[in-house]
A and B are shown apart, each in its own frame.
Chain A
Amino acid sequence: MTQNLIKMVGISKEFPGVKALIKASFHLDAGEVHALVGENGAGKSTLMKVLTGVYTKDEGEIFHKGQAVEIQNIRHSQDLGIVMIHQELNLMNHLSVAQNIFIGREERGRLPFFLNDQTLNKKAAEILRHLNMDIDPTAKVGELTVAKQQMIEIAKALSYNSEIIIMDEPTASLTDAEISDLFRVVRILRDEGKGIIYISHRLEELKQISDRITVMRDGETIQTLSTQEASTDTIIRLMVGRELFIEKEQSTLPGDAPVLFEARGIQCGRMVKDVSFQVRKGEILGFAGLVGAGRTETARAVFGADRRSGGKLLVNGAPVEIHSPADAVRNGIAYLSEDRKQYGLLLGLDVETNTSIASMKDFLRGKLFINFQKACQNAEEKVSELDVRTPSVKQLVRNLSGGNQQKVVLGKWLTRNCDILIFDEPTRGIDVGAKNEIYKLLRDLAAMGKAIILISSELPEIIRMCDRVIVMCEGKVTGEVVGEDINQQRIMEYATAREENKQEAGK
């Protein structure tokens, strides 16, 4: 009989306004790879954060090898042998491999104060050899590939004698060869009787590596199935759940609208691979996909924020050179980033300044002096056009609500006469009422003849708003859906990139 390592029963966790976990249960046995899947926000991370002591649960019980435990903090979970390997690796680039593995537990030398790096290197080499990893313990971590850095994290976990290893999207940035290497190591660990929790949304990958799969949705653990018995269709159905009825907005797209913007074969780093799409005048084009699918990266590449390694851009059918955000803006493309506070706004300045800042040349008197009257007039126009709730255009943007700040960013780009608007998660961190306003605004902008690209991780939002949806997975476009086909099932199929769908998308 296999030993039970972890048993989580009836775990609930509530954050202000959100029920993140609702009576979730999860079992992990020794010697198994147990996959945890679900859409964005299904509660996978929260459940794991409860297990590792980052969050404390509101309700429920956790058993570690049959013993009830109250996990207080990360330290405590580490003492129980639980280690989480995060997507952003927690390593010190300037230190060597061995120094990283044993950080905080250095080997002392014979003299007081001195360290003994030889022994450290030897111990590290042993662990690395055990895992069949060809890595020099004295190499600096910053000079290794991401895949190797990940191996170092695993080696570090083992050096703590961890028995429960949680891997969060470990293959997100690895090549195929590196993935098979990782799987080899995971199998070594499994065969030694360690328990591995494997969070991923690549369903075909789970087929290869996992023994059991637990599906989560809306904070609940829906079902645990053995991988052999689970078909991909079943998993997707469980992830999506009952089809929610979402009322679609009336499309304002005229049938004969011309293509305003086109991207052909965009390449950028590892996250954007041969992405092509068109967006028409007056159209709302959605970009759907799971976190890490490369949507934001595509937007940044198109906008010139990151250097492209390939691809062509066309505005109104004519090729344009875009190598910097300034080029993009000159061609009428605006990017409204997810993080408004950091990238979109000058929070300490007023509405007037924020709306005019990108087009200062239009607000000059002579060559040097600012025409405040004109700037003020423009700001007032935009405020009424976009219905910004602000006492006056002299109000500091910091004092506006999230939704209104979003509108001010928009006002800035409309002042600049941008026709192609890329919205990256425009409703993140905004309350429901303000969300509806943003939706109305998007529809109004489309009706004005703007081309709109809407990147969103919230499927209901995509389904409600978009005339057409591009679905991405792992940096590639895996599908495109129009009209009635825009539904959760279809989008999730493409977002988890099943092989047959890839072919279909390529036709």
Chain B
Amino acid sequence: MKVQLKNRVGTQKLIILATLLALFVFFSLMRPNFASYLNLMTIALSTCVNGILALGATFVITSGGIDLSLGTTMTFCSVMSGVSFVSWGFPIWLAIIFGFAVGAVCGAISGFAITKMKLPPFIATMAMQMMTKGLSLVVSGIKPVYFTGSENYKRIAMGNFLGIEGFYNAFILFIVIIVVAHLTYSKTLLGRYTTAIGSNQEAARLSGIKTDKWKILIYVVSGLFSAAAGLVMSSRLGSAQPQLGAGYELEAIAAAVIGGTSMSGGEGTIVGTVIGAFIISVLTNGLRTMAVSTEWQTVVTGFVLALAVYFDKLRRERRERA
């Protein structure tokens, strides 16, 4: 029984890992320079932002909710952080912390709207998406906010780790965040209750769990991941770009779902989500190296998403029949 179970959880991860490898081999064969060191680093870098957002999505979706504000909250956090640094004269470390605080507050507001005002998560977070999108433009005056005066800010993401050329600090940041997310998801009370609420909210409530409190906390966590992604993004660009962000949430949700997170809640893994994020960026990058246009890249990604969810559904049905 025990072995069987572990096998099952394993199969799902193995399948997506195999998919990732197959894509990788395919593109390497088609275009030799796909597997070049430089291109691989590019893929890894483009995965960082989406990957971090997808981790936030994993928590929210596992709890049975959804967060459509991931992308725009990310932008809002970096804009606020930039404004606090440039216009309000915050020291850079405080500006960064302020960015996280903004993310947490946005998440708390969404969580409050969902639990106390009883708005459906889709609506509550869509409202948050619109508000953060608008506020980013208002606060920045629709101009990028440059982190001028702090040479080191760009190094947070783009510095070479231990001086290795092309191996950016962003990767280390990403890995640390993945580890923290994984431990939180599988080893802490927050992770346990996220799964419990997503699996059967009423049962969780009747077991004496304060489901409202934990759900708010889950959206706060999602906001913190947005802020982290915002930090990486703005550091990479050296500026907060207020017009960026919309659409990122869908790619993040796609990564989580491809990685095996169940939209009906209760199920998911951090490792799966990370693989899912890599599948998306390998696909996008590979198609680009094959000179496929951006429009068609989007079509293919959509197709892969539908296919991934379909196979996952088949797998679940087979399991239920067994």
Enumerate chain A interface residues (CB-CB to B < 8 A): 74-75, 78, 90-95, 99, 103-104, 106, 109, 113-115, 136, 138-140, 143
What are the residues of chain B within 8 A of A114 when measuring CB–CB? Answer: 183, 187-188
What are the residues of chain B within 8 A of A136 when measuring CB–CB? Answer: 1-2
Task: List 14 additional A-B contacts (Cβ < 8 Å) besides A92-B203, A139-B1.
Answer: A75-B208, A90-B202, A92-B196, A92-B200, A93-B266, A95-B199, A99-B192, A103-B209, A106-B189, A113-B184, A113-B189, A115-B187, A138-B2, A143-B319
Interface string of B1-12 (1 = CB under 8 A from A): 110010000000
Interface string of B188-208 (1 = CB under 8 A from A): 111010011011101110111
What are the residues of chain A within 8 A of B1 when measuring CB–CB? Answer: 136, 139
Majority SS at the chain A contact face: loop
- Pick from B184, B200, B202, B206: contact of A93, CB under 8 Å: B200
Asked if A138 and B5 make an inter-chain contact with CB atoms under 8 angstroms apart, the answer reads yes
In the complex, number of A-B residue pairs with CB atoms less than 8 Å apart: 66
Interface string of B242-267 (1 = CB under 8 A from A): 00000000000000000000000011
* CB of B3 to closest CB in A, whole Å: 11
What are the residues of chain A within 8 A of B188 when measuring CB–CB? Answer: 113-115
Q: Closest residue of chain A to B262, judged by CB? A: A94
What are the residues of chain B within 8 A of A94 when measuring CB–CB? Answer: 195, 198-199, 266-267
Asked if A103 and B187 make an inter-chain contact with CB atoms under 8 angstroms apart, the answer reads no
* CB of A188 to closest CB in B, whole Å: 23
Asked if B202 and A103 make an inter-chain contact with CB atoms under 8 angstroms apart, the answer reads no
* CB of B196 to closest CB in A, whole Å: 5
What are the residues of chain A within 8 A of B206 when measuring CB–CB? Answer: 74, 90
Q: Closest residue of chain B to A140, judged by CB? A: B5
10 A-B contact pairs sorted by A residue (CB < 8 Å):
A74-B206, A78-B208, A92-B200, A92-B203, A94-B198, A94-B267, A106-B192, A136-B2, A140-B5, A143-B319
What are the residues of chain B within 8 A of A140 when measuring CB–CB? Answer: 5
Q: What are the 6 closest A-B residue pairs judged by CB atoms, nearest first?
A: A94-B266, A92-B199, A90-B203, A94-B199, A104-B208, A103-B207
Q: Closest residue of chain A to B208, judged by CB? A: A104
* CB of A57 to closest CB in B, whole Å: 21
Interface string of B142-176 (1 = CB under 8 A from A): 00000000000000000000000000000000000
CA distance A104 to B214 in the complex (A): 12
Majority SS at the chain B contact face: helix
Given A139-B1, A140-B5, also A91-B208 (CB < 8 A):
no
What are the residues of chain B within 8 A of A90 when measuring CB–CB? Answer: 200, 202-203, 206-207
Q: Closest residue of chain A to B9, judged by CB? A: A140
* CB of B312 to closest CB in A, whole Å: 15
- Pick from A74, A78, A95, A113: contact of B196, CB under 8 Å: A95
What are the residues of chain B within 8 A of A115 when measuring CB–CB? Answer: 187-189, 192
Q: Closest residue of chain B to A113, judged by CB? A: B188
Asked if A92 and B266 make an inter-chain contact with CB atoms under 8 angstroms apart, the answer reads yes
CA distance A463 to B259 in the complex (A): 58
What are the residues of chain A within 8 A of B2 when measuring CB–CB? Answer: 136, 138-139
- Which one of A113, A136, A138 has the highest number of Cβ atoms from chain B below 10 Å of its Cβ? A113
What are the residues of chain A within 8 A of B195 when measuring CB–CB? Answer: 92, 94-95
What are the residues of chain B within 8 A of A92 when measuring CB–CB? Answer: 195-196, 199-200, 203-204, 266
Given A94-B267, A113-B189, A115-B188, also A139-B200 (CB < 8 A):
no
What are the residues of chain A within 8 A of B208 when measuring CB–CB? Answer: 75, 78, 104
- Pick from B5, B196, B198, B319: contact of A139, CB under 8 Å: B5
Q: Closest residue of chain B to A156, judged by CB? A: B207
CA distance A54 to B236 in the complex (A): 56
Asked if A103 and B189 make an inter-chain contact with CB atoms under 8 angstroms apart, the answer reads no
CA distance A263 to B126 in the complex (A): 51
* CB of B242 to closest CB in A, whole Å: 35
CA distance A320 to B157 in the complex (A): 69
What are the residues of chain A within 8 A of B319 when measuring CB–CB? Answer: 143
What are the residues of chain A within 8 A of B203 when measuring CB–CB? Answer: 90-92, 103
* CB of B6 to closest CB in A, whole Å: 9
Interface string of B85-113 (1 = CB under 8 A from A): 00000000000000000000000000000
- Which one of A92, A113, A136 has the highest number of Cβ atoms from chain B below 10 Å of its Cβ? A92
* CB of B260 to closest CB in A, whole Å: 12
CA distance A95 to B267 in the complex (A): 9
CA distance A275 to B246 in the complex (A): 58
What are the residues of chain A within 8 A of B184 when measuring CB–CB? Answer: 113
Q: Closest residue of chain B to A96, judged by CB? A: B5
CA distance A114 to B2 in the complex (A): 23
CA distance A45 to B1 in the complex (A): 37
* CB of A344 to closest CB in B, whole Å: 25
- Which one of A78, A95, A138 has the highest number of Cβ atoms from chain B below 10 Å of its Cβ? A95
* CB of B205 to closest CB in A, whole Å: 9
- Pick from B5, B196, B202, B267: contact of A143, CB under 8 Å: B5
Q: Closest residue of chain B to A139, judged by CB? A: B1
What are the residues of chain B within 8 A of A109 when measuring CB–CB? Answer: 187
What are the residues of chain A within 8 A of B183 when measuring CB–CB? Answer: 114
* CB of A141 to closest CB in B, whole Å: 9
CA distance A210 to B132 in the complex (A): 63
CA distance A138 to B5 in the complex (A): 9
* CB of B272 to closest CB in A, whole Å: 14
* CB of A117 to closest CB in B, whole Å: 8
CA distance A288 to B319 in the complex (A): 37
Q: Closest residue of chain B to A141, judged by CB? A: B199
What are the residues of chain B within 8 A of A75 when measuring CB–CB? Answer: 208
* CB of B320 to closest CB in A, whole Å: 9
Q: Closest residue of chain A to B187, judged by CB? A: A114
CA distance A113 to B187 in the complex (A): 8
CA distance A140 to B196 in the complex (A): 12
Asked if B5 and A93 make an inter-chain contact with CB atoms under 8 angstroms apart, the answer reads no
CA distance A385 to B196 in the complex (A): 53
- Which one of A94, A106, A109 has the highest number of Cβ atoms from chain B below 10 Å of its Cβ? A94
What are the residues of chain A within 8 A of B199 when measuring CB–CB? Answer: 92-95
CA distance A106 to B1 in the complex (A): 24
What are the residues of chain B within 8 A of A113 when measuring CB–CB? Answer: 184, 187-190
What are the residues of chain B within 8 A of A95 when measuring CB–CB? Answer: 192, 195-196, 199
CA distance A92 to B64 in the complex (A): 13
* CB of A448 to closest CB in B, whole Å: 44
CA distance A106 to B188 in the complex (A): 10
Q: Closest residue of chain B to A108, judged by CB? A: B189
Asked if A103 and B266 make an inter-chain contact with CB atoms under 8 angstroms apart, the answer reads no
* CB of A125 to closest CB in B, whole Å: 12
What are the residues of chain A within 8 A of B190 when measuring CB–CB? Answer: 113
- Which one of A103, A139, A140 has the highest number of Cβ atoms from chain B below 10 Å of its Cβ? A103
* CB of A54 to closest CB in B, whole Å: 11
Q: Which of B196-233 contact A (CB under 8 A)?
A: 196, 198-200, 202-204, 206-209
Asked if B5 and A103 make an inter-chain contact with CB atoms under 8 angstroms apart, the answer reads no
CA distance A138 to B207 in the complex (A): 19
Q: Closest residue of chain B to A136, judged by CB? A: B1
What are the residues of chain B within 8 A of A74 when measuring CB–CB? Answer: 206
CA distance A93 to B204 in the complex (A): 11
* CB of A142 to closest CB in B, whole Å: 8
* CB of A116 to closest CB in B, whole Å: 9
CA distance A153 to B188 in the complex (A): 24
CA distance A95 to B192 in the complex (A): 8
